[in-house]
Structure 1
Amino acid sequence: MTQANSRETFGSRLGFILAAAGAAVGLGNIWGFPTQAATNGGGAFLLVYLVLILVVAYPMLVVEMAIGRYGQANPVDSMRALTSDKKTKRLGATVGWVGLSVPSAVLAFYSIVGGWIICYMLGAMTDILGWEAATTWLKGFSVERNLLGTIVFYIFTILIVQGGVKQGIEKWSTRLMPALFALFVVLFVYIMMQQGAVEGLRHYLIPDFNKIWDKKLILAAMGQGFFSLTIGGCSMLIYGSYLSKKENLPKMAMNVTLVDTAVAFIAGLVVLPAMFVAMHKGVQIYAPDGSLLSSDTLVFRVLPMMFDSLGLLGQLFAVVFFLLLTIAALTSSISMLECPVALVGERFHTKRTPTSWILGGIIAIFSVVIVYHFADLFGLVATVATQYLQPFTALLFCLFGGWVWNRNTKLKELEQGFTEFRQSTFGKIWPWYVRFVCPLMVIAIIWASFN
């Protein structure tokens, strides 16, 4: 029995879409996107973001998912499968290893933020119960609290990954993602009933067309779209490898893009009106020059202050909000851990449960080191992983997918599940688009991160 046909696949289309969208939906959508929108002119940023998601992120998502489905393996072996030339195979494997470093490095700092969120959620619960000492500790910023939150977050992540594709990732994604949408709707209705919310909604939905051509805004929107879909993060490549050959890959990639973008859009619908509600309550959000005062702590400072000002109902919704953030963080972290787990399992034929715990434990040790040396390491690891490693990996994936992978083989892969791919408009544009346009766009994102 070959690896390709003994390999586990997603049980349903919806399972794949929600799992892959969950991998993309993370704190970048709920924390990063509204913050970027608030900083870059609300509606203008939203409009540019929606355009760039389609012209930059989506074509590259198709490349990553196609490489994974063609290779039917972990990132290293999938990259090796793109060519028959021995030297290029070695180079492909190196690209795969560089790619694998991205989810591991991101998980090392991401799990710490996930831990903060769990602690804030528990803090919101103890606040309702009137346990002041516990609330102060859980909402504080001590090494012990950060350590507890991080470990709990890792345990949740490992427990889901050890279940495998169908019983772990798919099972929980199909539960967590609908819960995410439901919680968003509840929060949106609640916040829109508060004073100042309509003003925030107007700021978010009505674009200032004078700002649309602002270079800073365009690059911010391009970067946000790119990271929102975890391009270069290996998650989409590994999930693509679990996708059935019978599925229409460009259509599935489009569905993932739409769900991910919908979550970012809805997050803006909740967070921006909430900011304006907070401003009505006297919380200062913007500096006199119009810049956002606390972009990094928006989710952890401004929104809890707004919830606190709204009495008991506000406290209940603080629990809902941080539960929502926990779900978003978990749907991403499981895809990050799946990348190294898949590699070790396939290379060494190890059982999934011990592999998940051992690899999760190794990455957790790095997180513990970061927690104890927070000031020196947290910002450094986050910057290296997301601003340098991820776009660089995305560029390598794009160059390999566009230039190294034989054109005919590539088109045949995309014709599986979509027989008329070559005749379609997308099929005619996409091969040269990923060769020339996408690499230039990624280079622009990398250049912007250095400037």
Structure 2
Amino acid sequence: MEKTRDGFKSRTGFVIACIGSAVGMGNIWRFPYMVSDWGGMTFLIPYVLFVILIGASGVIEEMALGRAAKGGPIIAFGKCTEVRTGNKKIGERIGIIPVIGSLALAIGYTVVVGWIFKYTFLALSGQLAGMGQDMDAIGGMFGTTATKFGNNLWLVVAVIVTAVIMAFGIAGGIERANKIMMPLLFVLFLGLGIYIFTLPGASDGYKYIFTINPKGLLNVRLWIFAFGQAFFSLSIAGNGTVIYGSYLSKSENVVTSAGNVAIFDTLAALLAAFVIIPGMAVGGAELSSGGPGLMFVYLVNVFNGMPGGKIVGIVFYICVLFAGMSSLVNLYEAPVATMQEKFGLKRPAAVGVIAAIGCIVGLAIQGIVSGWMDAVSIYICPLGAMLAGIMFFWVAGKDFALEAVNQGKDKPIGKWFMPLGKYVLVPLAFVALVAGAILGGIG
């Protein structure tokens, strides 16, 4: 079975694909808003600390778990309970939870990526620029798009493009697509940031980003939301990182790979902040909304009011499209792999089944996608991350965990790893679940 199993051709391809899975809507429509809302560096300090913590525990753990099991969450969880009790059935049943979570999140994400496809087309065709700064027209466009059955065509396009990429396999589809999309995303975002830097008024945005309020650091909610942003941004949910790790060879260093993912995911978020916050300052607007309102309403108005706004809009939405597609491919991979592993389907057939489910359900939930995404991200994602941590650190145990992590490393990982995972990561995943339920979402 292992001999015929697809996989990444190179370490670079694996890391880029993992970066692609982590770089998504949270980096672009939530991170800049959080930086603005919580006071620039006041938010960035705890955020970076949590990125380091999660990158050094959860990301490593999920990559290593997938590689050790050579399978998605169901096989991986089953492997953990088999190591502990000799019975893999218990773990396999529990492993269904993150697979369902991945599919549910992918379906909601499909709706959003459908919006992005539409807005990329509107930007390229000049229709966004043609609305000028007419907020009624801009808001009305998004209002009709985000309503029930309001974006059918572009949602289907999103599903088809995703399915085509995935049908070509890990190396031929996912790895190749990410090798194109991710470098272009960073180059285009960097170019956009440099251009906005030259515009009058942008300096106010930079000043705000580098502002620090020492008293603000004493706010417990700040730390909770900074943790939530880091937690969800790094995509640990017991599914996508596990399945990508399962395609990794034993000679690769997962610790180095995890560090690269954390670094580049943070760079992508910072680039977005350095584009959006100074861009809003150029347009004289306050960053008063996160989520879809920021990307599809307020930023359209800002772009249309700045010099070269049409080109800025085109580049921005292409960047967002790359970020959305790379994450969507990752989210669908766990359920696709499950269809292959548990039902013996060939990859094209497995992709077809999951794509059909994603398309049908996605079309049906267009008017309620916000509530759908909230439910999945608040409950199922942190639960999946917590279960993966419990399985790896507590159930499979120290010998299994260290052997899985140390494969491909010249020197064994430090003694800090197991205590960090057992006594910090797992409890924090529980905190993410509880805090999200109480506060209505933290990431």
Out of 348, 354, 370, the position equivalent to 1:353 is 348
Within-5 A mapping of 1:208-223? 208-223=213-228
Q: Structure 1's 220 and 299: CA in aligned 2 closer, same or farther, altered over 3 A?
A: same
Determine which of 291, 300, 305 is the counterpart of 1:304.
Answer: 300
The alpha-carbon deviation at position 92 of structure 1 amounts to: 1.2
Rounded to whole Å, the distance in 1 between the matches of 2:165 and 2:232 is 23
Query: What amino acid does structure 2 have at the position aligned with 1:309?
Result: G
* CA distance in 2 between partners of 1:416 and 1:56 (Å): 20
Match of 1:10 in 2: 8
Provide the secondary structure at the position in 2 that maps to 1:207.
Answer: coil
Residues 23-38 of structure 1 mapped to structure 2, 5 A cutoff: 23-38=21-36
Alignment TM-score, normalising by the size of structure 2: 0.92
Whole-Å Cα distance in 2 between the matches of residues 5 and 248 of structure 1? Answer: 21
Match of 2:441 in 1: none
Structure 1 consecutive aligned stretches of length 4 or more whose deviation exceeds 3 Å: 85-88, 128-132, 135-140, 142-145, 293-296
* Residue number among 386, 389, 400 corresponding to 2:391 in the alignment: 400
Counterpart amino acid of residue 126 in structure 2: D
Counterpart of 1:432, as a letter, is P
Question: Among residues 247, 250, 255, which one is paired with 2:255 in the alignment?
Answer: 250
Q: 1:340 aligns with which of 332, 335, 338?
A: 335
Tell me the equivalent position of 2:417.
430
Aligned twin of 2:121: 122
User: Which residue of 413, 417, 439 corresponds with 2:404?
Assistant: 413
1:289 corresponding residue in structure 2: none
TM-score by length of structure 1 reads 0.90
Q: Which amino acid aligns with 1:438?
A: L
Following TM superposition, by how much is the alpha carbon of 1:409 offset from its aligned partner in structure 2, in angstroms?
2.1
Aligned equivalent of 1:146 = 151
Paired letter, 1:253: A
- Indicate whether 1:259 and 2:264 are aligned: yes
* Contact 1:47 1:207 (8 Å CA) reproduced: no
2:316 pairs, out of 310, 315, 321, with: 321
Measure, in 2, the Cα distance between the counterparts of 1:73 and 1:233: 12
Give the structure 1 partner of residue 273 of structure 2: 268
- Segments of structure 1 that go 5 or more residues without pairing to the other structure are 287-291
Report how far residue 144 of structure 1 moved. Answer: 5.2
Name the stretch that deviates more: 428-437 or 205-214.
205-214
Q: State whether structure 2 residue 326 is matched by structure 1 residue 331.
A: yes
Number of aligned residues: 429
In 2, are the aligned partners of 1:119 and 1:145 still within 8 Å (CA)? no
CA distance in 1, matches of 2:197, 2:150: 33
State the AA in 2 paired with 1:175.
I
Q: CA deviation at 1:131?
A: 7.8
The whole-number CA distance in structure 1 between the counterparts of 2:359 and 2:174 is: 20
RMSD between aligned alpha carbons?
2.1
Distance in 1 (CA, whole Å) between partners of 2:343 and 2:289 is 50
Please state how far the C-alpha of 1:208 moved relative to its aligned partner: 2.2
Q: Is the alpha carbon distance of 1:278 and 1:428 closer, same or farther for their aligned partners in structure 2, counting shifts above 3 Å?
A: same
Alpha-carbon distance in 2 for matches of 1:93, 1:21: 27
Check whether the contact 1:119–1:139 (CA below 8 A) recurs between aligned residues.
no
Whether the 8 Å CA contact 2:129–2:304 is kept in 1: the answer is no
Equivalent-residue separation in structure 1 for 2:94 and 2:364 (angstroms): 27
Q: Aligned partners of 1:340, 1:251: CA distance in 2, in Å?
A: 27
| 1:213 to partner: Cα distance | 2.5
Q: Is 2:62 the partner of 1:50?
A: no
1:100 corresponds to: 99
> 2: CA distance between counterparts of 1:216 and 1:278?
30
Change (3 A) 1:270 1:254: same
Q: What is the distance in 2 between the residues matched to 1:293 and 1:229?
A: 22
Matches of 2:49 and 2:336, distance apart in 1 = 35
Shift in CA distance, 129/370, structure 1 to aligned 2, threshold 3 Å: closer
> Residue 69 of structure 2: which of 61, 68, 71 is its match?
71
1:221-240 counterparts in 2 under 5 A?
A: 221-232=226-237, 234-240=239-245
In structure 2, list runs of 5 or more residues that go unmatched: 132-136, 439-443
Alignment CA distance shift 1:200-1:56 (3 Å): same
**Matching of residue 190 in structure 1 with residue 167 in structure 2:** no
Counterpart residue type for residue 90 of structure 2: L
Q: Which amino acid aligns with 2:121?
A: L
Q: Deviation at 1:420?
A: 2.1
From the superposition, tell whether residues 87 and 101 of structure 1 become closer, same or farther in structure 2 (CA, over 3 Å): farther
Q: CA deviation at 1:145?
A: 4.4
Q: Which amino acid in the other structure matches residue 389 of structure 2?
A: C
- Paired with 1:386 and 1:261, the residues of 2 have a C-alpha distance of 20
Q: 1:167 aligns with which of 163, 172, 178?
A: 172
Deviation at 1:369, TM superposition (A): 0.9
Q: How does 1:375-386 map to 2 (within 5 A)?
A: 377-386=368-377
Partner of 1:445: 432
Q: Which amino acid aligns with 2:319?
A: L
Deviation per residue, 1:366-386 (Å, 9 max, x gap): 111102xx1xx3232111110
Structure 1 residues 236 and 115, CA gap change in structure 2 (3 angstroms): same
Preserved contact between residue 154 and residue 364 of structure 1 (Cα < 8 Å): yes
C-alpha spacing 1:129/1:247, structure 2 compared with 1 (3 Å): closer
